[in-house]
Amino acid sequence: MSEILFHYKRPDPATWVYLSSFLTIGLFFVFHRFWSIRNLDILLLLLLAPGLLMVHDGRRAEFQASEAKAAAEVLLPTTDEAGAAIDFADPDADQVPAELSGPLRQRRDAIEAVEDARGLQLRGFIWLLGIQILILLRLLLDAAMVRRPLLAPNLTTGGLFFIGVSLLIFLMANVITSTARQQLEQGPELSRAGYPLMQALPALPTRTESYGHLTPAAANEPATAEATPPRAGAVIARILVIAAHIAVLVGIVLIGYRHFGNLRAGAGCALLYLMLPYTAQMTGRVDHVMPAAMLVWAVLMYRRPLIAGIFLGLAAGLVYYPLFLLPLWISFYWQRGLKRFNIGVLVTIGVLMLCLSLGGSEELGTRLRQMFGLWLPRSENLQGVWGLGWFAIWRLPVLVAFLLLAGFYSVWPAQKNLGTLISCSAALMVAAQFWHGYGGGLYIAWFLPLLLLTIFRPNLEDRVALKVIGGSSLPSGRRAPDSQTEAA
C-alpha cells in the first residue's frame, strides 16, 4: 500500500479495534434510546475484539518464544563425553559446564514464555466463546421480538456507501499486497473437515506484525510449519477472497433493498461488516469468507429454491458445517419448493464430489471423508480451546447438544418465515463454534453476515414459502421509503 498511498502503513490490530469501535458507536449506536436491543447488539459485536486480540498476541508470543527455544537448543549438546544422550529436562542434567548455563537459562525462559503465551490464547478463546454464548441466546430469542421499530444508522445512505467503498478498497489492497503463507502438508489423521481443494489454498495475512522472519498464515493458525505456497495457489486465493468479500457485501445490500425494503439498512449492514476488527484481521482467509458468501446468497435467492439450494450446497460442500442447516431449510420449504431446493443441494454436492474424482481414484475415499467429516470426533491434535487445556472428551456432549438444536429447528417454529430462517441459520453457525476442533470461536464469518442481517431486519412474518415461492420482489412503486420502513 505504501507504493499507492504515500507513507501509508497498515494499522496494527489494537489500533484498528480502537478506531473501528469509536466509528461503529458513532454510526450505529442509538443515543436517543440508550436501552435498546440495537445498542446491546452493537456491544456484543464490539466485545468480540478483546478475545481476537488475546488470541492474536498469544500466537505471536508463542512463535517468538518457540524461535528463542530452538535457538538455545542449537547451542546445547545432545550427548555427554561418554556418548550418552543428555536430557536437559532431567534435574540431574543441571550439572552442566558454565559455558552452557546461558543457553540452558534461555531455553528454560523460552519454555515458560511458551506456556504463558498458550495461557493467553486460552483466555482469548474462552472470552470469544463466552461472548458467542450471549450472541447465541440473543439469536434464540429473536423470533420472540415481534416489535422491531426503525433504528436507522446515524448517516445518510450516500455516506454509508462512500465509507464502505473506501474501506473495501483498503482491505482488498491489503490482500493484494500480502505475502501468502501456507501450512505444510498434513497427514490424513490431521486433516480438517472441508473441501480438500479449498483447504489446500494458502492464507493471506493482512496484519502488520511478522513473527520472526516469517509472516504468520493467519491469527487462527498456529505459527508453525509454514511454507511459501506455489504462485498459482496464491493468485487463486487472492481472487477467491476478493470475489467472496464483494459477494458478501453485494448480497447484504441486495437483501436490504429487495427483502427488507430498506436500502439504507442494507448499506449500514454492509458497512458494519467491513468496520468490525474481525474482518480486518481475517480478510485473507478463504475458508472463512467463502462459506459466508454462499450463505448470504442462499438467503438472497430464497424465493427461488433451486438457486438457494445450489448456494447452500456450495457452502456445505466447502466447509461441511453448513450441512447441519439442511433440516432448518428443508422445513422452511416443506410446503412449497422442497423438491427444487433438494435438487439444487444434491446436484451441487454431486458436482463437487465429481471434481474430487478428477484427481484420481486412489485417494478419492480419503478426500470424500475429509469433505464430509466422516470420522469419529477427534480428541488429539486439536487446536483452539480444545487443544489448549480443555478436555477434548467434553466435545461429545457439546456436539450432541448441537445436533439436538439442529433437529429442534426442523420443527420449531412451525411456521417459518424469512426472519426466522436468517436468525436460526445464524444461531446454528454460532453453535458450531463450540465443538469446532480447530480454532472454534474464530470462524466468525460463518455467522457474522447472518447476524448483522438479523440485527437490521424488519418484521418479516409474511415472508413464508407459501406466499413468496415463484413470486417477485416488492415492486419499486410499492416500496416504502427508508424513513417509513420498519427496521431493527
Compute CA 225 distance to the chain's CA centroid, rounded to the nearest angstrom.
22
Q: What single string gives the DSSP state of each residue in 388-426?
A: TTS-GGGHHHHHHHHHHHHHHHTTSSSS--HHHHHHHHH
For the question of whether the overall pTM of this predicted structure is more than 0.85, the answer is yes
More confident residue, 205 or 444: 444
Residue 446 pLDDT more than 90?
yes
Q: Which three cell numbers stand for residue 309?
A: 439450494
Task: Report pLDDT digits (tens) over 36-76.
Answer: 899 999 999 999 999 999 999 999 999 999 888 888 777 66
Q: Quick one: pLDDT at residue 487?
A: 38
Phi first, then psi, for residue 181 (nearest 5°) are -135, 145
As a whole number, the mean pLDDT across the chain is 85
- Chain-centre distance of CA 29, in angstroms? 24
Taking only the tens place, the pLDDT of each residue in 315-332 is: 999 999 999 999 999 999
Of the chain, the percentage scoring pLDDT greater than 70 comes to 81
Residue 235 CA to its chain's centroid (Å): 21
Crossing angle of helices 101-140 and 418-431, rounded to 10°: 160
C-beta of residue 473 within 8 angstroms of C-beta of residue 258: yes
Q: Exposed/middle/buried for 250, CB within 10 Å: 0-12, 13-18, 19+?
A: middle
Tens digit of pLDDT for each residue in 123-173?
999 999 999 999 999 999 998 887 787 778 999 999 999 999 999 999 998
Per residue in 208-220, pLDDT tens? 554 433 333 444 4
Between CA 432 and CA 398 the distance in angstroms is: 9
Q: Backbone phi, then psi, for 285, in 5-degree steps?
A: -90, 105
Q: Kindly state the greatest CA–CA separation across the chain.
A: 92
**Boundaries of every domain in the chain:** 152-484
